[in-house]
Amino acid sequence: MLWKTRGEKFAAFCSASAQGGLMIRDAKPRSIFAIAGENDRIVRYDGQVRRIEVYRSVLKTDSSKVETRGYAKIEPGINGTELVTYLHPGGHEFPQDAFPLVVEFFKRHSRKG
């Protein structure tokens, strides 16, 4: 919702265990760190994966240049954006080992001024 309605106010986003994503189809590209648990019993994993495909479409990522770091995959997008997907075997919880990667992500995509 924030990406679509106030995306210009943010440098980047992090989304965990979320579905949907269709409302951002025509939003201004912004980097996003997307976390999904394969065994999430609250939000269906296949729905989480579908929203990641929407992110790929919006950011026009280059899958030939993916960098992998454990569960994280970093795909460059247009205009200096990137999509980081963190698909882990856990459930709905925020994986503790993702925190340092999320911090690095926001450092790379901080608003300047």
Q: How confident is the model at residue 7 (pLDDT cuts 50, 70, 90)?
A: confident
Q: Maximum Cα–Cα distance for the chain, whole Å?
A: 41
Taking the complete model, does pTM exceed 0.85, yes or no?
yes
Which tokens in the block code for residue 59? Answer: 């950011």
Per-residue pLDDT tens over the stretch 33-59: 999 999 999 999 999 999 999 999 999
Side-by-side strand order, sheet with 12-16? 12-16, 31-37, 82-88, 72-76, 67-69
For the chain, domain boundaries? 2-108
